[in-house]
Amino acid sequence: MINFAKQKNPMPEQEANVRNHNFQEVALGYSPEAAVREAMRCLKCRKHPCMDGCPVMVRIPEFIEKVAQGEFEEAYQIIRKTSSLPAICGRVCPQETQCEGRCVQATKGEPVAIGRLERFVADWHGANYGDEEILPAKSNGHKVAVVGAGPAGLACAGDMVNKGYEVTVYESLHKTGGVLVYGIPQFRLPKEIVAAEIAQLEAKGVRFVTDALIGKAITVDELMSQEGFESVFIGTGAGLPAFMNIPGENLLEVCSANEYLTRINLMKAYLEEYDTPIMRAERIAVVGGGNVAMDAARCAKRMGAKEVSIIYRRSAEEIPARAEEIHHAVEEGIIFRYLTNPVAIKGTPEGHVTGIECVEMELGEPDASGRRRPVEKRIHGLS
């Protein structure tokens, strides 16, 4: 049976003015009944365009059909054949531009909520089969190394260990997970979910070595010549921040989103029992329009800021963050200042921020990215 409803089954969520004061997960997940109803919206397309939008080719129609039949564990096992991190991917993958972006159902309404269903299936498995014994795959006698325990490294390790490789993952930080633990906030991706997925990889035989700075303590060549690895996958991520190189970036209250989110997430500044040094203010501006900017702005609100603004140089149509994150940010009271670009950060002689000087932008011809290029319109003050 197919459910021809044009809209997705709504996801239960914390109320906006409650959640913007805590770090508990915003989206609460489907009930089994809602998951079945949503799965029944799948049109069972013959060519499976949703799979073409999935980077790891999850067998989406097959797992959704199992959900529609109420066979949740069978659905989970189908996902696990191609994805090592379903509980994570179901929460933070950009489904609207990948699998859901290809869904035929979207031509007449909203696409099937593939991400929400993946999350439901993974959570259902964790609640009902989370303590099952996991047996490593039969060894193929080969030994490989992975540099970086972020999403790329974890996905690679999962694929390799499933094929029987002996896998060792080297991580420069003291904790595994990469951006999943230091970047993405608890309210979007609970750390317990990440820990559970990593524990499954360990149970399969993946070995994790933390505080290991490859390239400094040991080189890639030495991993192969001295440690006996036959192949090395390098998944070090993009952890360095990008600054605008405008006057005032060295003022005391200016920091990168990378540092801010790391202090909140990895160093647990969001928990009262941790005395993590972190900057606090009543009015905070976040420059940028991607998912990192949304995370920083929404964290700032939860850390006590009364007013948080997103400053973005293009319009709402060009902003690259996930639609769901923008929607949640607006609900939580984040102010969006579109077509606005900072040119200087103002401060006192002692080095404290007093405001931001911005220029108003307008959109010109498309640039290399295909988006219309923002060009300066006129100067105005924001403080």
* 138 belongs to a structural domain: no
How many whole angstroms separate alpha carbon 383 and alpha carbon 368? 33
* 135 belongs to a structural domain: no
Which candidate, 332, 331, 283, 338, places its Cα nearest to that of 310? 338
How many whole angstroms separate alpha carbon 184 and alpha carbon 323? 16
Q: List, in sequence order, every residue forming a beta bridge with 375; answer none if it has no partner.
A: 362
How many whole angstroms separate alpha carbon 156 and alpha carbon 38? 31
Residues 204 and 277 both lie in one domain: no
Tell me what pLDDT residue 209 has. Answer: 97
41, 5 Cβ separation under 8 angstroms: yes
Tell me what pLDDT residue 379 has. Answer: 53
Which candidate, 93, 30, 40, 47, places its Cα nearest to that of 65? 40
* 239 belongs to a structural domain: no
Residues 283 and 367 both lie in one domain: yes
Residue located via tokens 């904790």: 175
Helix axes 323-331, 291-302, angle to 10 degrees: 20
Instruction: State the pairing for strand pair 353-366/340-347.
Output: antiparallel
| Domain boundaries, position 281 | 257-382
Residues 179 and 229 both lie in one domain: yes
Which candidate, 254, 237, 119, 127, places its Cα nearest to that of 182? 237
Write the CA distances from 287 to 31, 255, 278, 314, 358, integer angstroms.
37, 11, 18, 12, 11
Alpha carbon 352 to chain centroid, angstroms:
32
The number of CA neighbours under 13 Å toward the Cβ of 101 is 12
Q: Could you write out the three-class secondary structure of 144-155? A: EEEECCCHHHHH
Residues 285 and 207 both lie in one domain: no
Residues 62 and 101 both lie in one domain: yes
How many whole angstroms separate alpha carbon 256 and alpha carbon 258? 5
pTM: 0.92
338, 321 Cβ separation under 8 angstroms: no
CATH number at residue 113: 1.10.1060.10
Other CB atoms within 10 Å distance of the CB of residue 370: 7
CATH number at residue 340: 3.50.50.60
Which candidate, 15, 27, 24, 91, places its Cα nearest to that of 332? 15
Q: Domain tally for the chain?
A: 3
How many whole angstroms separate alpha carbon 360 and alpha carbon 76? 49
48, 32 Cβ separation under 8 angstroms: no
Residue segments in the chain with a per-residue pLDDT below the cut of 70? 1, 378-383
* 80 belongs to a structural domain: yes
Residue located via tokens 């989206």: 27
Residues 114 and 167 both lie in one domain: no
Q: Which long-range contacts (CB under 8 A, 24 or more apart) does 79-83 make?
A: 79/118, 79/121, 79/122, 82/56, 82/57, 82/58, 83/56, 83/58, 83/155
How many whole angstroms separate alpha carbon 5 and alpha carbon 39? 11
* 249 belongs to a structural domain: no
Residues 30 and 122 both lie in one domain: yes
Residues 263 and 377 both lie in one domain: yes
CA angle 194, 156, 230 (to 5 degrees): 135
Tokens of 226: 């001295």
361, 375 Cβ separation under 8 angstroms: yes
Tell me what pLDDT residue 324 has. Answer: 93
Residues 110 and 159 both lie in one domain: no
* 282 belongs to a structural domain: yes
82, 56 Cβ separation under 8 angstroms: yes
Q: Which residues contact 305 (CB under 8 A, 6 or more apart)?
A: 280, 281, 282, 283, 284
